[in-house]
Structure 1
């Protein structure tokens, strides 16, 4: 029987300005009932980054919720594309346009933009959309892997062999992204889907975490504290701050508690909708 997503997913959300920045330009949103988690790391002068990331999470959460009322994320479009992919691509384009036009029309917001990492859970699958260098990781058993690949100058230098991983750790170019939401009239998000298993833990984070804490340490912390997501999220932010906290740091942890296969057939969907 189909279980409510909120019974299948446990979510913990934490954001912190860090030890150096005066204000927080990260924005986070999570809704276990929708199976949706969104994290954005804003950029721009004064409070413009804060505006861009806030617009991104507010617009996307509302637009995606509206889209999910119309159709289940697991359903398929007439052209064969999963509805989840089409929905995310369309709504991200709408948010990009809104942020871009705000930046164009208001001088104090000129040049603002934001990274984005978004996870939508449905039918034992997570659909991930990302732009920039905010990341999504997965812990499955003892295996901790980075799922997203940064849209950044540093990642391009690594891919081309210009830098070794050791050199990349010391690079001064860590924060130069090659793609961002709201900077250009159009942007192409990377959207991919992955099967999900009970017990999986997904981590969405801004670079304020992974620039300060090695992936191996992040993975070990999640393994050790997997039974307490709130404590794990608090501990990850504390580790980033203990190591210097040079940037805002945000984390969203999503733990898959059980199977959440989608209802099949119109009657099952109607019953699920009534719940």
Structure 2
């Protein structure tokens, strides 16, 4: 098995693009430089380059830890980038024939089979307070600092990425995206778009999703990467 892949990115409502992405035959990744922190575009680029260098045979959670080290090491050499950070989502078709993923921050990762399943959880203050039982979902959605990141690549010396493992099944579609996409397209709109694009190839899928987000008034950079699990040609 391998992945049939494509990626697409747009400025959205920003003047510069702080998103980075990678798409290979067994590895896909998306990083979104943290806004409000310096050099977000540098952090996202370094993270994705580190993941790509680690390759698909490295467990994604280990690749995320390496990316964290790379971002922090760079920041120590360049004062202009001190404090930079980035979100990161990774999915890889491992040598064991299973799909493995890791995530840090609030970028999104999901899988589409006959339904759509979310594979990542946001590392935000609002989500953490709800998960810990301190707030209800409604209260978390209204919290003034609900979007504040509590975990991201480069934020702390030790990164604890979320992770998952599942069987790789031909026909499944993995979508990794920055929150610029999911902020512009609510859950219902995204599900409708994915359903309508189920038969489309990865290139058409990502280009359509990014276009729809921009048309919906995306205020942030919009990046989407798709990996379809396919069989090796015989």
Work out whether 1:26 is the aligned partner of 2:19: yes
Work out whether 1:51 is the aligned partner of 2:24: no
Aligned length: 230
Q: Bigger CA drift: 44-53 or 113-122? A: 44-53
Instruction: Determine helix, strand or coil for the equivalent of 2:83.
Output: coil
Instruction: Determine helix, strand or coil for the equivalent of 1:202.
Output: strand
Equivalent of 2:6, from 3, 12, 22?
Answer: 12
Q: Deviations over 1:241-262 (max 9, x none)?
A: 12221111111111122389xx
Distance 1:17 1:197 in 2: 33
Instruction: Determine helix, strand or coil for the equivalent of 2:106.
Output: coil
Residue 224 of structure 1: CA displacement?
A: 1.1
Equivalent pair of 1:198/1:259 in contact (CA under 8 Å): no
In the superposition, the TM-score normalised over structure 2's length comes to 0.88
Name 1:187's counterpart in structure 2: 159
Name 2:210's counterpart in structure 1: 237
Instruction: Determine helix, strand or coil for the equivalent of 1:115.
Output: strand
Q: Deviations over 1:122-145 (max 9, x none)?
A: 34411001111111111111x112
Distance 1:211 1:127 in 2: 25
Name 2:185's counterpart in structure 1: 213
Distance 1:179 1:17 in 2: 24
Equivalent of 2:63, from 84, 91, 107?
Answer: 91
Residue 108 of structure 1: CA displacement?
A: 1.2
Work out whether 1:140 is the aligned partner of 2:113: yes
Equivalent of 2:28, from 33, 37, 61?
Answer: 37
Equivalent pair of 2:126/2:140 in contact (CA under 8 Å): no
Equivalent pair of 1:137/1:202 in contact (CA under 8 Å): yes
Q: Deviations over 1:47-66 (max 9, x none)?
A: 6000000001112211x23x
Distance 2:77 2:35 in 1: 15
Give RMSD over aligned pairs.
2.3
Residue 175 of structure 1: CA displacement?
A: 3.3
Instruction: Determine helix, strand or coil for the equivalent of 2:171.
Output: coil
Question: Gapped runs of 5+ residues in structure 2?
Answer: none
Distance 2:144 2:224 in 1: 23
Distance 1:180 1:46 in 2: 12
In the superposition, the TM-score normalised over structure 1's length comes to 0.76
Distance 2:232 2:101 in 1: 19
